[in-house]
Structure 1
């Protein structure tokens, strides 16, 4: 048996009963005021899983009865818990957003009554402006050894109703859907489904069509698997499919991407005395990554694979500045490769790659600012501090990153606004920037700020991603 409730943000108390079905829901089921709570030994056990499925919400902390659960202090998007074992009772559940200033704010608060021998999924859905929890409840008794139990939730607010296919046929044109007309955050009578252990291929199509928008490829699912699958917005760099699938198996929640998902690769030329460069894969110039001048960002999407890469002078590909064999780009990842150092001369250069695994997911409540120290000249003078000031005056109080060395990098979460940014040597007690710039950032935006040896023109600023925020 499975029951589903959708709760409003900051909802009042809601009780979920083991035998209370939302098809005939006449209101919350509450114990009479004079009914004493069950003794612990009589309460039985309930099993609870919490998943962050709000695509533009910040990291969250999950609290039970006012206390943050150990290990759940910083839960990111597409991350969920295993099944947590709790004594059956009523609990205050809170999801608190972690803000840019280090404080937190509740985005979901609910009182839930967990019944014995039931399994609950609490899933934070929708965009941050309208974040809401969906609670799914089902019997804790899982499938038999030769069976698989699959529960599915449509968690993409911008996608209409979908049909889900579990066939391994090459085409779904002549196949029937296992689940039809599944709408955002809505339940379906067919769920959960129990099927024999076998090889399955999960494909999703807009309801009533045979146009596949997600294809898992063949999956060998072991008998006894009890899986909670949530389709959520794909925020990966390449975004081959509109959704990723979050798969909870009781121990953890993993991300299942479309079988054809690619990798995004960004190349940044940060060597001030080097000419334009090409990127070669297996000694062949990569289309879209040629003639890259100093201070330019270039991005392309590539099939997820291992590549033998070189960075060579565009005017003569035999002049190789960087030789990087066996570089692995995983599906759904975004990787930045900065060429840093000095050319000096063709035979005596210090050019090397700085490889950074990027997180370009937009967060509605603040901007992300990736700061990269790519100035070898400043690096030779010692560690630097990164400062941010609202009025252009720098002091000990404007320091936001301390002791950054050449090739050091970090991501800052900052509220929307205009900032004066400065790179200041730690040895400089006058707080005079070696290089500076002014940047205006918006909530939901993702930016890169790079210190190069082009001191005259200041810091290199790049808009990696900008989400146009809608009126609240």
Structure 2
């Protein structure tokens, strides 16, 4: 009986590996991750427009993430379980912009986002993603973060391009400043791959303050949609925002900046 069960598990793993390879599953979306057996992983994001380049430190020691500019999104890095301190220093100095201590667990993926704080410091938001994804699922996984102090509560719509916003509810409703939807500790939402349009309104309104135009969301994509002030920490105009998309499925252009497009 034990041998039979082992064979079944092995067969499922082989089939899942083949399925993931066929539909573009990457190293961060393998079988071990989907069954919750992978080592914890952490990625870091530099989301401070106009901010200095940064060196990333882990537990006080420099990593190989050095002199990284705004829009930088690292790949997921394996770490040990337990408290892991990640800090962002101005490149080549001991001047720390911000830090986050992440309590890591097997099977989880974590993100530390350096976002606009004050002129001399960054706020660092951490996100815990349990990554509970079906073994054979090819759904894309999406989450939203509001890093815009000048647009402190927003509704975010990710729809097919021609949809009238008056006919739908937000994909991510009432996303507050420094908060994510779904919240840290909950799974990202699942969406089918395809053609989408990202529109953002002030919470409870249908007045669009950001419109991406047409986007392609791939099968098995892993997106963090982050709103940020167009003018960085010196922003004074309310609701003047742009979007940084961290794409876990595309290492060649992981940090994709979107600016609002003319009305369609």
Q: CA deviation at 1:195?
A: 1.7
Q: CA deviation at 1:189?
A: 4.7
Q: CA deviation at 1:205?
A: 0.8
Q: CA deviation at 1:141?
A: 4.2
Matched, 1:80 2:73: yes
Q: CA deviation at 1:235?
A: 4.3
Q: TM-score, normalised by structure 2?
A: 0.71
Greater Cα offset, 52-61 or 142-151: 142-151
The counterpart of 1:95, out of the listed 88, 102, 111, is: 88
CA 258–92 in structure 1, closer or farther in 2 if over 3 Å, else same: closer
Q: CA deviation at 1:181?
A: 0.8
Partner of 1:136: 127
Partner of 1:245: 244
The counterpart of 1:115, out of the listed 100, 105, 111, is: 105
- Which string of whole-angstrom CA distances, capped at 9 and with x for unpartnered residues, describes residues 362-395 of structure 1? xxxxxxxxxxxxxxxxxxxxxxxxxxxxxxxxxx
CA 110–174 in structure 1, closer or farther in 2 if over 3 Å, else same: closer
Q: Check the 8 A contact 2:144/2:182 in 1, yes or no.
A: no
Q: TM-score, normalised by structure 1?
A: 0.41
CA 124–255 in structure 1, closer or farther in 2 if over 3 Å, else same: same
- Which string of whole-angstrom CA distances, capped at 9 and with x for unpartnered residues, describes residues 292-333 of structure 1? xxxxxxxxxxxxxxxxxxxxxxxxxxxxxxxxxxxxxxxxxx
The counterpart of 1:167, out of the listed 155, 159, 182, is: 159
Q: CA deviation at 1:48?
A: 0.6
> 5+ residue gaps in structure 1?
1-42, 262-472
Q: CA deviation at 1:138?
A: 1.1
Q: Check the 8 A contact 2:150/2:240 in 1, yes or no.
A: no
Partner of 2:196: 200
Q: Check the 8 A contact 1:94/1:108 in 2, yes or no.
A: yes
* SS of residue matched to 1:95: strand
Partner of 1:449: none
CA 164–46 in structure 1, closer or farther in 2 if over 3 Å, else same: same
The counterpart of 1:210, out of the listed 206, 210, 214, is: 206
Partner of 1:260: 261
CA 49–250 in structure 1, closer or farther in 2 if over 3 Å, else same: farther
Q: State the distance in 1 between where 2:210 and 2:99 align.
A: 33
- Which string of whole-angstrom CA distances, capped at 9 and with x for unpartnered residues, describes residues 59-93 of structure 1? 110011222111x1111122121111223333232
- Which string of whole-angstrom CA distances, capped at 9 and with x for unpartnered residues, describes residues 3-39 of structure 1? xxxxxxxxxxxxxxxxxxxxxxxxxxxxxxxxxxxxx
- Which string of whole-angstrom CA distances, capped at 9 and with x for unpartnered residues, describes residues 417-455 of structure 1? xxxxxxxxxxxxxxxxxxxxxxxxxxxxxxxxxxxxxxx
Q: Which has the larger radius of gyration?
A: 1
* SS of residue matched to 2:148: coil
Identify the structure with bigger relative contact order (alpha carbons < 8 Å, sequence gap 6+): 2
CA 153–84 in structure 1, closer or farther in 2 if over 3 Å, else same: same
> 5+ residue gaps in structure 2?
1-36
Q: Which has the higher strand share?
A: 1
CA 233–116 in structure 1, closer or farther in 2 if over 3 Å, else same: same
* SS of residue matched to 1:203: strand
